Amino acid sequence: MVHPVEIESVDDVVAGLAAHEYLADEGLATAVFLAMTLRRPLLLEGEAGVGKTEVAKALARWTGGELLRLQCYEGIDASQAVYEWDYSRQLLHLRAVEAGGREVVEDELYSERFLVRRPLLRAIDYRGDVPPVLLVDEVDRADDEFEAFLLEILSDFAITIPELGTFSARVPPLTVLTSNRTRDVHDALKRRCLYHWIAHPDFERELAILRVRAPKVPEQLAEQVASAVSVLRALDLYKPPGVAETIDWAEALAALNRDLLDESAIDVTLGTILKYREDQERVREHGLPAIVQAAAARHA
């Protein structure tokens, strides 16, 4: 177990994450290093499937901190994110007490016993020695009001519950926010955070990721897949394949006992790498042989 403050250099981050199956490049590792040492939240943006969410998961595995994930969506509010009262249990309690012929005092109902702790509260009021990893995933899906609220919490790492008082973190949780940029995250929130744009990996890194994440895939096939994927990304696709799709594709091909990426292999597995029918059509139109050639030409 590593305490976040014990790391000394960016290289420690590269090594620590790699030991937990995440291969970070220099830029991402520097941003993570700074987030850990300066104790600032880290906002990660990038296309779908480039490995944003996985950063937080790997960090939790590495540091030994609990992973607390807050998945954002349109309409999310404090009751999902911070805390909520367990109303059904409160009602039951109310009935039981009254059946016993006693008056109910409001304080009794609004005690920790009836408190449902959601990820943000748990991240701030954590038990244990290692600060948790707080993952605020896909923050671009929440709305402005929620962002403003998040900003407040990420500024003070304190939460006040009127009935119970204020909770605050001894050491702030290691916080990672992700966004797909379906809309801009508010500037004030961005200013609170360190920022890193995760781009699609280059050929070498993608191949290395395949070796780690899909170890059963033969080396030559992995190479061809990695280069075919970079060819596909250069076409005008509606959804260019992310790393997740690269892994799926390589595994699907290996499962079909293919050890070469030829036309027929692409033909039967196209759906695992391209999720939209329009994109599949587009690539067929472009010509599968052209993809095979381009992939092969790359390191001939």
Give the residues lining the site for ligand ATP (CB under 6 A): 21-24, 46, 48-54, 178, 180, 209, 212-213, 243-244, 247
The DSSP code sequence of 247-281 is HHHHHHHHHTT--S--HHHHHHHHHHH--SHHHHH
- 50 or 136: whose CB is closer to ligand ATP? 50
Instruction: Compute φ and ψ for 188, nearest 5 degrees.
Output: -60, -40
Q: Provide the pairing of β-strand 158-161 with 165-168.
A: antiparallel
**In which residue are the tokens 């090594």 written?**
15
Choice between 106 and 112, CB closer to another protein: 106
- Give the distance, in angstroms, between the CA of residue 291 and the centroid of all CA atoms in the same chain: 31
CA 41 to CA 167: how far, in whole Å?
19
CB 232 within 8 A of CB 240: yes
x/- binding map, residues 54-83, to another protein, per CB under 8 A?
A: -------------------xxx-x-x----
Q: Whole-number minimum distance, CB 22 to ligand ATP, in Å?
A: 4
179 touches Mg ion (CB under 5 A): no
Q: What's the min distance (Å) between Cβ of 74 and another protein?
A: 6
In terms of CB distance, is 37 or 272 closer to another protein? 37
Strand partners, 165: 161
Q: How far is the CB of 13 from another protein (least distance, A)?
A: 11
Give the Cα separation of 39 and 26 in Å (integer): 19
Residue 209 binds: one of ligand ATP, another protein, Mg ion, none (C-beta under 5 to 8 A by kind): ligand ATP
Task: State the binding string over 142-181 for another protein (x if CB under 8 A, else -).
Answer: --x-----------------------------------xx
Instruction: Give the residues lining the site for Mg ion (CB under 5 A).
Output: 53
